[in-house]
Structure 1
Amino acid sequence: MTLQANYEQIPLKEYAERAYLDYSMYVVLDRALPFVGDGLKPVQRRIIYAMSELGLAASAKPKKSARTVGDVIGKFHPHGDSACYEAMVLMAQPFSYRYPLIDGQGNFGSPDDPKSFAAMRYTESKLNPIADVLLGELGQGTVDFAPNFDGTLEEPSWLPARLPHVLLNGSMGIAVGMATDIPPHNLREITSACIRLLDDPDATVADLCEHVRGPDYPTQAEIITPRNELIAMYQTGVGSIRARAVYTQEDGNIVITALPHQVSPSKILEQIAAQMRAKKLPMIEDLRDESDHENPIRLVVVPRSNRVELAEVMQHLFATTDLEKSFRVNLNMIGLDERPQVKDLRRILSEWLSFRVDTVTRRLNHRLAKVERRLHLLEGLRVAYLNLDEVIRIVRTEEEPKPVLMARFRLSEEQADYILETRLRQLARLEEMKINAERDQLEEERAKINVLLKSPAKLKSLIKEELRADAAKYGDDRRSPLVEREAAQALDESALVASEPVTVVLSQKGWIRAAKGHDVDAEGLSYREGDNLLATVKTRTTQQIAVIDSTGRSYSTPAHTLPSARGNGEPLTGRFTPPAGARFDAIAAGDNDTRLVLATDFGYGFVTRFEALTGRNKAGKQIITLGDGARVLAPQTSADPARDRIVVATTDGHLLMFSVAELPELDKGKGNKLIEIPKAKLGNGEERVAGIAVVAEGKGEVTLFAGQRKLTLRWADLVEYGGNRATRGGVLPRGLRRVERIETTG
């Protein structure tokens, strides 16, 4: 006997595609994106509906949140209780929702930590009055009901929102292949835009932006996005919003009173404190959090002195912390066609107004049906009053009075049942008068409803009146001020470092470090085995230092980032990537406009600005063109090239002094000849330039070193060696004709 298989065999590829598509559609339509009609996701809609079914109206006594969550997940939303409770808490947080739908009692979190709310067994909740905007017309035939997950109950497919809630509280969600980021808006502005669109169906997005000036977050932080960018965002449905904290100045301190939406005060304090620990905010002395119940946000920044420019400090903090934050905007939602789409402002309001017109029409039709049914019953009752004796006789004598009544007075079955169910006390004369009055009233109401249903203009007028009424009842002033400002710029790194004197020490093997102060015995510092001092330069922590290698390439780094001289420092090869085999030969420091004289021991040189030596490239940049065998000399600073003199000494005892102005100012290159050296001596290495020194006119002093001997030459002595650039210069006294180096000493 062969058993028939009760399963279907399909290829794995087809099954996977179908399963993933089903999952994707579920996430998009039933989890992550809001519906344009009521602006709610399914879990939010079920929470609000379950609370209304529990009788948790704004005027009722609150119940434990666990009771609500239990009803939601047990009747409508078979998912995790923690996720459901978190969605419920979000709708109760006034710092998360612009118009909270739930009134939470207990710990529902704080702006400092929105997820610090108490467990649902401790908190209580009920609906806020504004929830009536979503629920007020629910039992009036305005929505379709669908079976719940197990088919035992019915739940509304949407809620009959009287306002475009999708824009009021906004929404965030991540679906499959798409996401939504809808910012909250001001109720009065949105209502005004809806009325404008009802009056002028051809209104453009720009026209509507005369009413909707921009998002309105729960916090009082400024929205600094330019108006043209806001209009472009509403025209395309995508863009970004930039919000900035609000601060005041009190007693010389900075007091921050409002933060951008969803920015935690503790995170701001942490970000500022991290910069203070890294010594990147030398102008700030202290940081305090003085927030309390009366002042939910009060962060105090204490400057180091009253000379600190507070506006510049705040500009830097705006640029480097979440005091200024950008929010993505993506107006993606489920439309009336049940499809997700990114919509512009006009499309959103147009679809919602269509939804509202349909809702009001259904409400009126529902009411009209009830009025006509009641009139039908009253008409039957009126017949009974007019023929009361006959009706009583039929009821008393006939075994089946119902069909007899229907045939005798041409009544419907419903009218006959109503007559038979009427109590004797209602047969009094006074009741007949009440019935006539009720009939007249109902007929008047029926006429009004028919006029509304047949006249689109009157229907629009009704919708506008209801919009105005809700705006007056639930609307409030804008919280987020719109102030156009330029995006903040962080201060230059040098401005964030305390200006302190340091001496940078470079060893022969390329290890570098910085010692505090300018009175440093560099030779007395400890060095690694086999290493010794090569060069030092006096600078400040706010300046950069530049190092030149044996190929003529220059590398730069901020002085304040160098390691302390208490250790051996760090190798420059860890910061830079010089060519293979290159060594570091010289070091310089200064501001960007500092003039330096760069020279080689072949006797060529030029003047350049320190900025030419700097750059961010780890591989450096070519600054000096070196001949074969040439070596870079220690750079010399020239405060005034027009008045300064350069002193050049050769290893063969020749000395020449001439004006620095005779040298060209270049960004890079070989430069011009400094002193004449015979080619024969230069070629075989008998004579090179031992060093250069720059002295001020009239007060210069240099010291020459030759082995154990040294010679100090004052200005009067140096004048004797004056001459033109590229000449041979004068000869030094015997015993000093093997010069090793030259230093400026005065």
Structure 2
Amino acid sequence: MSTPESRIIPTDLGNEMSRSYLEYAMSVIVGRALPDARDGLKPVHRRILYAMNELGLTPDRPFRKCARVVGEVLGKYHPHGDTAVYDALVRMAQDFSMRERLINGHGNFGSVDNDPAAAMRYTECRLTALTSDSMLRDIDCETVNFGDNFDGSQQEPLVLPARIPQILLNGSSGIAVGMATNIPPHNLGEIIDGFVALIHNPEITDLELMQYIPGPDFPTGGQILGKATIREAYTTGRGSITMRGVAGIETIEHVGRPDKEAIIITELPYQTNKAALIEKIAELVNDKRLEGISDIRDESDRDGMRIVIELKRDSYPRVVLNNLYKQTPLQSNFGANMLALVNGEPQLLSLSQFLNVFLDFRIETITRRTQYELRKAEERDHLLQGLLIALDNLDGIIQLIRRAPDSAAAKQELIDNYGLSDQQADAILQMQLRRLTALEAQKIQQEHEELRTKISDLEDILARRERILEIAEFEAVEIKTKIATPRRTVIEHAEGEIDERDLIANEQAIILITEQGYIKRMPVSTFEAQSRATRGKAGTKMKEDDGVEHFLSCCDHDSVLFFSDRGVVYSVKAYQIPVSSRTARGMPVLQLLPIPMEEKITSMVSVTEFSSEEYLVMLTRNGYIKKTALAAFSHIRTNGLIAISLEEGDQLRWVRRAKVGDSIIIGTHQGMAIHFRTNHEQLRPTGR
């Protein structure tokens, strides 16, 4: 009899923790967090779909309670919490989470506002046509391996016989131990086009595949900015893809009140919470970090999303929209990390590697299905051959059966006298009398001939790889024809790929700033030539105590440098300054530049090209002068750049452009003046 002490196994604590943690990590990686590259599913999703198929929840059958499905999965395949199973089921039924839903839900399955789904006892579900046709159709044809469930009482598939690259279609995300995956969803028609292209050209590259699969296609639509990050993700397996919601600017009419400009958001980036976005915008407005917004409301309904952001009358809609992109989740990044299990090991895959893994799997499943169908056809034909022998020797076989003392003796005599197998003899003994008619005999002969043709075709498929590839292509294109939908996400050129200036005419313009801080831009064509001795035209509308303080003429593509009394320089493209009429006051400089209320613009300079041969000459109130190369100001941050360091109480007052050899004359209030050259001997250049 053993004692408690004898059952204790001495072991090193460090080794035991290392071994146990390694087992836990491998269990999470292989059995929970990472999808299989072949069918694109994690174990919990695979078990849910297989259990629903076993329950007969096909698209043509009635809905069943989700609680019934969850119970089936927990009891037979997935011994974990019911919440985990139900959450996975709900996600596969959400059209804003999946590019093509795998489950058709009936009831409340949550919303893009992150509202939770109703309890599983209230909701119902069944498989979609896509899942039934492309994931489970060949499950009973010995196409995939099965393994024991957690207690050995049931068999479950280790992978589903997918006919399409589901891992690219709906993507996947998960956090394992020491690694994570985040694969974006794609358009069904595009990935099948890419799959077909791979079949026809096995050496196709990732960049060539992008002609068929230009980028992710998110279920919520939106925009993707730039193809460079998509190329990086597709070629290396990792990349940060910039997503942006779809927003437009409309005029909202109010009865009895002036019309207002409004930003209308109709699509959000993938996995963006609409309610959280609205809350974030309201928070920024309340904290005075987002200017120009007077009201925000959610007008979304069953017809689609519509977030209305009403603007103040003096705001510039494009500036507000750009701030929304910068400060809110209306523009966000999708960190692609395309990690999946290949032969049970996690691997980072490129686009072509994903499709190659799937193609190899597809060849295997078609081969195994064909072998299964060939075996079944040969078994059936073998029985038919026995029946044909019986029909050819009908009288003798009838007499043999009548003479036999029992069925076992009759079976043995059939085998001995006519060379039949056990299966053929059993089939003859079980044959009904009505099958002895001439019509039935003809049907048996016809079925035998059809089976011989089918067997020859199946053998040809197994002998020729090109036949298998043709079948893979045909079945994929068939699904595309039935289920594929147009692309929802628009891929836009990012800034730098197509310059925004290419879309704007480079016309001459006039920019002016008033003493009270209003700025506006007007085309030069606003002021046509006038005869002498005329009154002229008003250039702007001002209050009585206001006046024009700064004025310059430039082209719309020029950069305009604004220098403040604190010695900070800001840069804005001329076309980004709102165009106003001659009679308009313009917009406050505070809404165009990120400057505090107490800061004042003291100089304004337009620049067409930041040349190293030109300089900016700066003069402060206390008489300090500085010359800096114009090229030093070519890259100015949004929040400005320090152009000159000032002593306490000093201010930057004047800034002018100059070349080496130009003359500078500075005059004072006392009527004194000084003249010097801008060469390096008299005025040495310094850095910022």
Please report the TM-score for the alignment, with normalisation by the length of structure 2. 0.75
Q: Select 1:382's aligned residue among 376, 381, 388.
A: 388
Match of 1:67 in 2: 68
SS at match of 1:135: coil
Match of 2:244 in 1: 244
SS at match of 2:336: strand
CA–CA distance in 2 between the matches of 1:636 and 1:107?
63
Q: Aligned AA for 1:645?
A: T
User: Are residues 1:369 and 2:387 paired?
Assistant: no
Cα deviation for residue 362 of structure 1 reads: 0.3
CA–CA distance in 1 between the matches of 2:196 and 2:653?
73
Cα deviation for residue 254 of structure 1 reads: 1.8
Match of 2:453 in 1: 444
CA–CA distance in 2 between the matches of 1:125 and 1:487?
47
SS at match of 1:406: helix
Match of 1:35 in 2: 36
Cα deviation for residue 420 of structure 1 reads: 1.7
Residue pair 2:602, 2:654 contacting (<8 A) in 1 also: no
Counterparts in 2 of 1:223 and 1:190: CA distance versus 1, 3 Å: same
SS at match of 1:202: coil
Q: Aligned AA for 1:384?
A: A
Match of 2:96 in 1: 95
Matches within 5 A, 1:79-478: 79-113=80-114, 115-132=115-132, 133-226=134-227, 228-251=228-251, 252-294=261-303, 296-305=304-313, 308-335=315-342, 337-396=343-402, 397-399=404-406, 400-478=409-487
CA–CA distance in 2 between the matches of 1:123 and 1:292?
21
SS at match of 1:482: strand
CA–CA distance in 2 between the matches of 1:622 and 1:311?
33
Please report the TM-score for the alignment, with normalisation by the length of structure 1. 0.69
Cα deviation for residue 545 of structure 1 reads: 7.3
CA–CA distance in 2 between the matches of 1:174 and 1:454?
43
Q: Which has the higher contact order (CA 8 A, sep 6+)?
A: 2
CA–CA distance in 2 between the matches of 1:333 and 1:487?
33
CA–CA distance in 1 between the matches of 2:595 and 2:46?
60
Counterparts in 2 of 1:375 and 1:284: CA distance versus 1, 3 Å: same
Counterparts in 2 of 1:487 and 1:309: CA distance versus 1, 3 Å: farther
SS at match of 2:122: coil
SS at match of 1:369: helix
Match of 1:504 in 2: none
Comparing 236-245 with 480-489, which one deviates more in the overlay? 480-489
Deviations 1:125-183 (A, max 9, x none): 11111002100111111011111111111111110001111100000011111111110
Match of 1:495 in 2: none
Match of 1:606 in 2: 624
SS at match of 2:90: helix
CA–CA distance in 2 between the matches of 1:454 and 1:638?
86
Cα deviation for residue 229 of structure 1 reads: 3.2
Match of 1:486 in 2: 495
Instruction: Report percent identity of matched pairs.
Output: 37
Cα deviation for residue 398 of structure 1 reads: 2.8
Counterparts in 2 of 1:622 and 1:560: CA distance versus 1, 3 Å: closer
CA–CA distance in 2 between the matches of 1:131 and 1:45?
11
Comparing 311-320 with 634-643, which one deviates more in the overlay? 634-643
Q: Aligned AA for 1:327?
A: F
Deviations 1:617-656 (A, max 9, x none): 9xx99745xxxxxxx7776967999675256xxxxxxxxx
Cα deviation for residue 271 of structure 1 reads: 2.1
Deviations 1:490-535 (A, max 9, x none): xxxxxxxxx989xxxxxxxxxxxxxxxxx9xxxxxxxxxxxxxxxx
Deviations 1:454-498 (A, max 9, x none): 111122112211121111111111111111132899xxxxxxxxx
SS at match of 1:191: helix
Cα deviation for residue 435 of structure 1 reads: 0.8
Cα deviation for residue 278 of structure 1 reads: 2.1
CA–CA distance in 1 between the matches of 2:232 and 2:105?
37
Matches within 5 A, 1:4-19: 5-6=6-7, 8-19=9-20
SS at match of 2:490: coil
Counterparts in 2 of 1:207 and 1:621: CA distance versus 1, 3 Å: closer
CA–CA distance in 2 between the matches of 1:478 and 1:318?
23
Cα deviation for residue 308 of structure 1 reads: 3.9
Residue pair 2:221, 2:268 contacting (<8 A) in 1 also: yes
CA–CA distance in 1 between the matches of 2:654 and 2:442?
113
CA–CA distance in 2 between the matches of 1:204 and 1:606?
62
Residue pair 1:543, 1:559 contacting (<8 A) in 2 also: no
CA–CA distance in 2 between the matches of 1:638 and 1:172?
57
Q: Which runs of 5+ in 1 are unaligned?
A: 490-498, 502-518, 520-541, 548-557, 563-587, 600-604, 625-631, 648-656, 670-746
Residue pair 1:225, 1:243 contacting (<8 A) in 2 also: no
Residue pair 1:598, 1:633 contacting (<8 A) in 2 also: no
Counterparts in 2 of 1:377 and 1:597: CA distance versus 1, 3 Å: closer
Deviations 1:221-249 (A, max 9, x none): 011122x4322321111112111111223
Match of 1:696 in 2: none
CA–CA distance in 2 between the matches of 1:101 and 1:26?
26
CA–CA distance in 1 between the matches of 2:157 and 2:277?
43
Q: Aligned AA for 1:377?
A: L
Counterparts in 2 of 1:167 and 1:597: CA distance versus 1, 3 Å: closer
Match of 1:493 in 2: none
SS at match of 1:112: coil
Comparing 634-643 with 36-45, which one deviates more in the overlay? 634-643
Cα deviation for residue 288 of structure 1 reads: 2.0
CA–CA distance in 2 between the matches of 1:2 and 1:477?
71
Counterparts in 2 of 1:621 and 1:222: CA distance versus 1, 3 Å: closer
CA–CA distance in 2 between the matches of 1:47 and 1:607?
76
Q: Aligned AA for 1:35?
A: D
Residue pair 1:39, 1:164 contacting (<8 A) in 2 also: yes
User: Are residues 1:645 and 2:651 paired?
Assistant: no
Cα deviation for residue 281 of structure 1 reads: 3.2
Deviations 1:96-125 (A, max 9, x none): 000000000100011111x52111111011
Match of 1:535 in 2: none
Cα deviation for residue 194 of structure 1 reads: 1.1
